[in-house]
Amino acid sequence: MSVAKSSLLMAGGTIASRILGFIRTVVLALTIGVTTDAADAFGVANQLPNNVYAIIAGGVLSAVLVPQIVKARSHKDGGLGYIDRLLTLAIVVFAAVTVISTIAAPFLISIYTTGWSPAQLALASAFAYWCIPQLFFYGLYAMLGEVLNARSAFGPYMWAPVLNNVVGIIGLISFLVVFGADPVGARSVESWGPDQIALLAGSATVGVASQALILFLSWKKIGINFSLNFSWRGVGLRPAMKAATWTIGMVLVSQVGGLVQTFVASRAVADRSEDLAIASIAAMMIAWLLFMLPHSVVTVSIATAYFTKMSEHVHDKRIDLMKIDLRAALRVVVLVNVFSSVALILLSYPVARVFVGEYPSTVALGNVLFTTMFGLVPFGLVFMFQKAFFALEDTRTPFVFTTIQIAIHIAGSITLFFTMTSEFLVMSLAGLTSATILIQALVAYLFL
């Protein structure tokens, strides 16, 4: 399949998924609000499995596995034994980490928040017990999907999240029917019952599980029949682990930056009142969802298709062809992201109105959306530059330019924590993120 067809197939799945994701977020805002304590509690809990997953494997699978699986196809069995061993190892690791993280849920919640009441912390921890099992299925989904990508079967990986969003929407609608809507936070954090917590957070986890498990059907279609294989020694995992070292470091640095940002943003909750709508973690996550719409539809689809080609060119020692692919991808990414960022900047406040009905909340969310969207173009550039370095099996350089960005971001976040009023704190954090991503893109370009 050509790069154009592969990109269109992936873009179609991403568009469908993102539209449903947008609808899901609107329904979630109707269900528990945006500038409410319950929304922030659920936001932190539902983000925890993503954060833990990122620490142990985020970026490693996409950066390392595709080149290694492409190489393994030259084995006598076409790389099937290598794949069995990798997936078996991933299942064991993710299962163990999921159990440990679930037990440690209250502690994990505490390090991401500050100034929260005991009741809000308890609610967030209860949500986390239901949400953290998503960690196992995120890992499984990523592993299954990257093997499909390495085999040039790009569609299923991008279409599977559609099922996740459908399940999530059904869960939220069920919650609305049974317990009713609460967009303004009239339901106190103390009044949440186990059945409400289980339905809201449990349906989110079922959605992630369905997204992962359905990919096994795609494996069968391309002729891969998985069987557990614990014979890890001598299979050739050492090159993959060596290549992953810098990527793991990069992810750890990024997660430290994310932890600091979430911690700083959570401070704003303490000053929230009936008369003052203050954006915090839930607003930050909605802004990120909208930010990722054009990025996922265009940049990720194009980068995923080109990454396999660039890895093959590097394997064949045709760096000239790899550079041609990179330039072609960058042209499309920049063009679409410039248009998208301008449109989203201009429409920040009307879009915010879709999620919240009250004027103060609209302004609070709109401010965050406005400053977030300035980072869209440089973010796309950084993503493509990372893919180029990963295709060259250079994971050290992305670690360096990511560390520079995170160091500046942490310093800025700490400064804002002590100097910025709660009303404009998250808006300022979003602007800081956009500025540091631009610096990261410039540094990455100089290294490339």
pLDDT, tens only, 142-178 = 888 878 877 777 778 889 999 999 999 999 999 999 9
Q: Cα–Cα distance between 44 and 30 in angstroms, integer?
A: 18
150 near 69, Cβ under 8 Å? yes
The residue among 386, 348, 344 whose CA lies nearest residue 365 is 348
Q: How confident is the model at residue 320 (pLDDT cuts 50, 70, 90)?
A: confident
Sorted by sequence, the CB contacts under 8 Å of residue 431 that are 6+ apart come out as 371, 374
Q: DSSP states of 292-324 as a string?
A: HHHIIIIIIHHHHHHHHHHHHHHHTT-HHHHHH
Residue 234 has pLDDT above 70, yes or no: no
* 46 vs 306, more confident: 46
Largest CA distance in the chain: 69
50 near 191, Cβ under 8 Å? no
70 near 315, Cβ under 8 Å? yes
Maximum average pLDDT range among 11-25, 70-84, 179-193, 350-364: 179-193
The residue among 328, 341, 352 whose CA lies nearest residue 294 is 341
* 342 vs 6, more confident: 342
pLDDT at 310: 85
Residue 421 has, within 13 A of its CA and on its CB side, a CA count of: 7
Q: Cα–Cα distance between 94 and 100 in angstroms, integer?
A: 10
* 94 vs 280, more confident: 94
Q: Cα–Cα distance between 164 and 46 in angstroms, integer?
A: 14
Q: Cα–Cα distance between 16 and 297 in angstroms, integer?
A: 9
pLDDT at 184: 85
- The stretch 136-140 carries a mean pLDDT of 91
Q: Cα–Cα distance between 89 and 83 in angstroms, integer?
A: 10
The H or E element that residue 92 is part of is helix 80-103
The residue among 174, 172, 176, 138 whose CA lies nearest residue 157 is 138
Instruction: Give the number of domains in the chain.
Output: 1
Hey, is 234 helix, strand or coil? coil
Give the burial string for 34-51 (b: 16+ CB within 10 Å, else e).
Answer: bbbbbbbbbbbbbbbbbb
Residue 59 has pLDDT above 90, yes or no: no
pLDDT at 269: 75
pLDDT at 210: 97
* 314 vs 418, more confident: 418
Q: DSSP states of 11-45 as a string?
A: HHHHHHHHHHHHHHHHHHHHHH-SSSHHHHHHHHH
Q: Cα–Cα distance between 413 and 434 in angstroms, integer?
A: 13
* Residue 191: domain span: 3-447
- The stretch 314-331 carries a mean pLDDT of 85
pLDDT at 271: 66
